[in-house]
Structure 1
Amino acid sequence: MMLKLVEDDKLLRPFAGIIEKRHRQVLAMEREFTYRTTRLSDSCNSYLYYGLHRTNEGWVFREWAPNATAIYLLGEFNDWRKHPDYALTKVGNGNWEIKLPQETLEHKMLYRLLVEWNGGSGERLPSHVRRVIQDEYTKIYSAQVWDPLNPYQMRHESPKRSEYPLIYEAHIGMSTEHRRVSTFTEFRLFVLPRIVDLGYNTIQLMAVQEHPYYGSFGYQVANFFAVSSRFGTPDELKALIDTAHGMGIRVIMDIVHSHAVNNEVEGLSRFDGSYDQYFYPGNRGFHSLWGSRCFDYGKHEVLNFLLSNCKYWLEEFHFDGYRFDGITSMLYWDHGLDKDFTEYNLYYDGNQDENAITYLALANRVIHQVDPEAITIAEDMSGMPGVASPIEDGGMGFDYRMNMGTPDYWIKLLKEKRDEEWHVGDLFYELTNKREEEHTISYAESHDQALVGDKTIFFRLVDKAIYTSMGVFDKNILIERGMALHKMIRLVTIGTAADGYLNFMGNEWGHPEWIDFPREGNGWSYDHARRLWSLVDDENLRFRFLNAFDKSMIQTVNETRVFHWRPEPLVRDNERQVLIFTRGDYLFVFNFNPEKSFPDYVFDAPSGKYTMLLDTDSKNFDGLGRIDEKMEHFTRYVSPGRGQLSLYIPARTGFVLKRS
């Protein structure tokens, strides 16, 4: 019987055999893992076996290192010296174990491993370490025993899953205005209330997994089961998530399984002396562009490690799901570099890592078995069919796909086209173009669009005028344009979004400049690795109006639940740059014309009375207030259910009307 993915898309028929083969491979691997259990998730418990655990009899530590000839525990308990009393014993299948008396270790004690192999040795951090800290002076990383007397206890249930996530993407470290790394506690106390006030229902936390290089934005992970100690303790992360849950907000994690840091002492690379323990052998085990290691998704032990990692963060920290970073790099042997993916055969030409495809499907299976309310989001720039389709249909099982074409489109438009050249027909097509069967998350910009060498949308719109002309009494044509378009870009993006929306921390109110983490090239500066909240809090600056608009926009989406209906175009007037579409009983109206207002714009619309819900030109949002928002608009009869509506549509304005 034909898989639904192929049945619903005739263009996939020539590749039905390949898609069916991939589907069978997923099911076969699932059977291999579940021969002793009922569910796949029940067999993914590596973190309960490996690593350091306190038992009633004392401590037990286990490690998988098949190429090792000897392993020793080094730490404060033995003056960091190799000693036979702290040698691990082989217990079969490449596993090693040591049992220690209760009094040997205590909370916050530091330790590492000494791994020996034929021809060499090296100090390592355990593969399943849950707490890693860096010495302030030597910069050396060590594992830390984390066994608090009174561990944090979660008090709140996770909020129910929202069908339409409104996501606030956030980085803990750069969430303070101070020139330093912020903490989980500071974020909980000072940033979380801002997110609650804006109305977002989901927070996406970046850089949670431990990473040795801060400037990697958390995407060069060394310790997959450890909370980044830069931001605080595991208990402080739990307190943040628990508090968010108590405020009705779900928290998902930016998880990185697409690659691992190349570091050997801190990470998994050459852990037991071999290059291919966790990673593909030869060149396939190295990502040349990222300078990192590529997991061997065909090896059972690696699959168990990664699948257990998915389960761990859900169970231990009560995360509500994941955004999987960089899966394009996983899906293709060439990592999808320098490809446009304009033809279907590029998804089925043998360049695909079918082991990785199998892993992603199994990861989704595990996540949804552990927590049926959890959501998974794929970041895939290639658009491979099936990524966000159910496994049973022949897909990989992600709930959502990031609509990565949308921010790319905005940047291209702002860079290459004058305002007079904006083609609203193209705009509507680009913002709504998606595979029908997939759920997607749209966004005007995420952290990616503001990394060093680029600019936020608002900074791109107003440039250096942001430094001199953002006062409430200043008049500047660049600022007027930037304020108007910033609001319109966000409203039309969320208005055309299929199933959800994402915003990066601070971009809602036009955070200036770009993001650049401390590094040698900028003198290890924190100037661009922070959020200048004082700008939006200053009553004398105009940033607060953009923040107020974002709050009203999110509130409107929450109250109207417009995502229940798909956008249906009514007007795509390219000559006058007017775009009008409906979502259910809600009418979205945009005039992108930079100069011309239309006092009596007549068009066909569903019959009824229309009243104003949201207006980008409102004086509450630093607009010109050209529309009488209290006015009721009635259609003129044309035919049953259809009428003609006449509206005043000012230049550079977008608004939402409700039909009754």
Structure 2
Amino acid sequence: MYYNISETDIYLFHQGTNYYSYKMLGCHHILWKGQLGFRFSTWAPHAKKVSVVGDFNNWNPNRHQLHKVNNEGLWIGFFTDVPEAVNYKYAIITADGQEILKADPYAFYSELRPNTASITTKASRFHWTDKKWRQQRKKFNPYSSPISIYEVHLGTWKKKEGKFYTYRELAHELIPYVKKLGFTHIELLPLSEHPFDLSWGYQITGYYSVTSRYGTPEEFKYFVNECHNHNIGVIMDWVPGHFCKDAHGLRKFDGQPLYEYQDPKKAEKHGWGTLAFDFGRPEVQSFLISNAIYWIEEFHIDGLRVDAVASMMYLNFDRPEWEEKIYNSFGDEINLEALAFIRKLNKVVFEKEPNFLMMAEDSSDYPLVTAPTYLGGLGFNYKWNMGWMNDMLKYMKKDPVYRKWHHQLITFSYMYAFSENFLLPLSHDEVVHGKKSLLDKMPGDQWQQFANLRLLYGYMFTHPGKKLLFMGGEFGQYAEWKDKEQLDWHLFEYPLHNQMYHYFKTLNHFYRKHSELYELDHDSQGFEWIDPHNIEQSIIAFIRRNKANEELIVICNFTPVVYYDYKIGVPQPGTYVEIFNSDAVQYGGSGQTSESEHFSIPKKWHGFGQHIKVKIPPLAIAIYKKIKEEKEEEIS
């Protein structure tokens, strides 16, 4: 026993199976032999000497030295004279005699950038009140439930006098806004401590340290707690694939490659200027899997969006042409260690939280990403549908005159829509660095741009798969995301933006109200084509169904032409009414809506035994539903 650390915990850490290693390593306030103090422990197998230095000892490496407890390089010390909330780092003497200063990889809190020290903290005193939410989550079925996610970068959603809102302030600003819009979840860009604002949190130095930009860990817990008390789930972007090279971070932590691969060809991510984790190293597995468990258990997170999965899986991902390619022992480019790690990660997470959301941001066509590990899959329960996103944005950018020559872009996704559990993303990556905002991607004059965007959203919400939208898209921000400034809230002063906000809010609530649009998202029984082949007019029509076999008829017109008495085949005889139309005047449309009832005509059309005649609005989506007859209601 080393200051309350058991031999078993140490053994499991070095075996890659200590999934609570954050309780063992790092800085912990403990009682040891009747004395209170801080225990420091770190893993540095190549170090000659390790000390804790900080404001409490004038950064003197000779006063608070750790001792090495095993050959695998675990260093531990216990001190009663170190205060709470004080800055500290590890002073490490490397094998070649140099002294380097490193932030604690397991620190729970860190200095505000540009400062880089870790901060001593005692056990959390936060009182959670989200028991009801957590009990509901045990019954939550992510596959047959509506999931609509608002993706947020907390530093630029809204600012006050150019400064960041705190987690606590955001709880009172952001949560009511998201709830009013009808989203089920908030997804936060990475919140682990990172040195550079413009990395958006994707280049991390403190994996266990919630960034101090917006407040303390206790304040972030308050934010999550408030989300749950308002029935909103919290998903966090998580980056287990690579880390930044800043001197105080994980890079060559003890003077030699440790968290990263020894082989620089495997370690270097040239495109991002980062280093890949060594997924085959047991201690790194303990570090990363424990980190996922840490966010789940300590912060009650409901899901992780796992960033850049393809970069983990492929040895030559983004490798420059001038560099020699590398291969595994079977002669292909798959990183076998990364695959094993991913499966292990997902298995552990779902054993602890069966209804947790593990969402892979994967741009590859690797199969079985969302299949269970026992069936040979990677074990995620969702995958971002990057193919749908790329096809749709490519299509929507085109002038409607030319869309008929690219019709396959809006129909191809159904060739693979049920091969994985998909989420449809319109994320931050699509509205930065000269890519233009979603609204500004749309062709035509201002009216057509807004109509096209309403149509894109409508098609997204009726297409199988869960939904995600990056902040600002809900009111049609014209400028692309400015990662230093807040959203353009002044646009609410303009009618078209107000109407877009009203449209998106209505669409989101409509989606949640109609189980036909989500209950069978991942089952081909929930979708049926009526007509995917009207290339000349760029019109598609399809059916969405729920488990009770109730149906919605969805019609999308990707041109600005209005059509009257347009025939649509329907599966059941009866009376159909329009229940949603993106061209409604209140949304900024031209008002080509239909308030009349449409009686089915018993003549075959589109392969069905009957059809209805409807008005097709321009650059719009219209949704119809069959009215229940009195006899049908009596039978049901």
Give the TM-score of the pair, scaled to structure 1: 0.84
Question: Which whole-Å CA distance do the structure 2 matches of 1:248 and 1:650 have between them?
Answer: 36
Q: State the Cα distance separating 1:303 from its structure 2 match.
A: 0.7
| In structure 2, C-alpha distance between the alignment counterparts of 1:480 and 1:338, rounded to whole Å | 43
Shift of 1:425: 4.2
Partner of 2:87: 110
In terms of mean alpha carbon deviation, does 351-360 or 641-650 score higher? Answer: 641-650
Are positions 1:281 and 2:259 aligned together? no
Identity of aligned pairs, percent?
25
Shift of 1:154: 4.2
Partner Cα distance (1:388, 1:34) in 2: 31
Q: Decide which of 196, 200, 205 is 1:213's aligned counterpart.
A: 196
Q: Any conservation in 2 of the 1:106–1:147 contact (CA below 8 Å)?
A: no
Aligned residues: 582
Residues 433 and 211 of structure 1: is their aligned pair in 2 closer, same or farther, counting only changes over 3 Å? farther
Correspondence 1:504-515 to 2 at 5 A? 504-515=470-481
Q: 1:52 to 1:385 in 2, by over 3 A?
A: same
SS of 2:69's equivalent in the other structure is strand
- Report the Cα distance in structure 1 between the residues aligned to 2:609 and 2:513, rounded to whole angstroms: 26
Q: What does residue 54 of structure 2 align with?
A: 75
> What is the rounded CA distance, in whole Å, between the counterparts of 1:509 and 1:338 in structure 2?
39
Give the AA of the match of 1:151: F
State how 1:508-523 maps to structure 2 within 5 Å: 508-517=474-483
Greater mean deviation of Cα atoms: 143-152 or 367-376: 143-152
Task: Report Cα offsets for 1:606-633 as digits up to 9, x if no partner.
Answer: 22221222110111101111223x3211
Report the secondary structure of 1:314's partner residue: helix
Aligned to 1:532: 488
Residues 627-638 of structure 1: matches in 2 within 5 Å?
627-628=593-594, 630-638=595-603
1:210-609 correspondence runs (5 A)? 210-265=193-248, 267-335=249-317, 350-415=332-397, 417-423=398-404, 425-434=407-416, 436-443=418-425, 445-461=426-442, 478-496=445-463, 498-517=464-483, 526=484, 529-536=485-492, 538=493, 540-561=494-515, 562-565=517-520, 566-572=526-532, 573-584=534-545, 585-594=551-560, 596-606=561-571, 607-609=573-575
CA contact (8 A) 1:152 1:235 kept: no
Q: CA deviation at 1:45?
A: 1.3
SS of equivalent to 1:316: helix
Shift of residue 408 of structure 1?
A: 1.5
Deviation (angstroms), 1:177: 4.3
**Which SS does the other structure have where 1:322 is aligned?**
strand
SS of the aligned residue for 1:636 comes to: coil
1:203 maps to a residue whose letter is I
> Letter of the aligned partner of 1:87 in structure 2?
Q
Cα separation, 1, equivalents of 2:265 and 2:462: 45
Distance 1:186 1:506, change over 3 A: farther
TM-score w.r.t. length of structure 2 = 0.87
2:617 aligns with one of 627, 638, 650: 650
Structure 2 match to 1:97: 76
Q: What is the alpha-carbon distance in structure 1 between the residues aligned to residue 424 and residue 609 of structure 2?
A: 31
SS in 2 for 1:218: coil
2:441, 2:190 → 1: CA distance?
26
Output aligned runs, 1:18-33, within 5 Å.
none
Among 614, 618, 623, the residue aligned to 2:589: 623
Asked if residue 124 in structure 1 is aligned to residue 66 in structure 2, the reply is no
- Counterpart-to-counterpart distance in 2, 1:151 and 1:577: 56
Cα offset, 1:277, TM superposition: 4.4
Structure 2 CA distance for partners of 1:490 and 1:503, relative to 1, 3 Å: same
- Aligned-partner Cα distance in 1 for 2:208–2:499: 41
Which of the numbers 63, 69, 75 marks the counterpart of 2:42?
63
Q: Which moved more, 1:598-607 or 1:319-328?
A: 598-607
Residue 56 of structure 1: how far off its partner (Å): 2.0
Q: RMSD of aligned C-alpha atoms?
A: 2.5
Whichever residue aligns with residue 451 of structure 2, its letter is: A
1:314·1:370 contact (CA, 8 Å) conserved in 2?
no
State the alpha-carbon separation in 1 of the partners of residues 379 and 112 from structure 2.
38
Residue 349 of structure 2: SS of its match in structure 1? helix
CA deviation map 1:474-529 (0-9, x unaligned): xxx71110111000011112211x23011011112111212243xxxxxxxx3xx3
1:142 maps onto 2:97 in alignment = no
Further displaced range: 401-410 or 478-487: 401-410
- Which consecutive residues of structure 1, in runs of 5 or more, have no partner in the other structure? 1-32, 340-344, 463-476, 518-525
C-alpha distance in structure 1 between counterparts of 2:110 and 2:55, whole Å? 15
Counterpart amino acid of 2:43? W
Q: Which amino acid aligns with 1:659?
A: K
- Secondary structure at 1:169's aligned position in 2? strand
Q: C-alpha separation between the residues in 1 aligned to 2:10 and 2:601?
A: 68
Matches within 5 A, 1:167-178: 167-178=149-160
Question: 2:294 aligns to what SS in structure 1?
Answer: helix
Does 1:184 find its partner at 2:167? yes
Task: Give CA-to-partner distance per residue, 1:314-355, whole Å, 9 cap, x none.
Answer: 00000011110001100011115699xxxxx99x86101010
Give the deviation of 1:643 after TM superposition.
1.1
Corresponding letter in the other structure for 1:631? S
Instruction: Judge conservation of contact 1:617–1:653 (CA < 8 Å) in 2.
Output: yes
Cα–Cα, structure 1 residues 636 and 35, in superposed 2: closer, same or farther, change >3 Å?
A: farther
Query: Equivalents in 1 of 2:221, 2:16: separation in Å?
Result: 22
Shift of 1:461: 2.6
Shift of 1:42: 7.6
Letter in 2 for 1:165: I
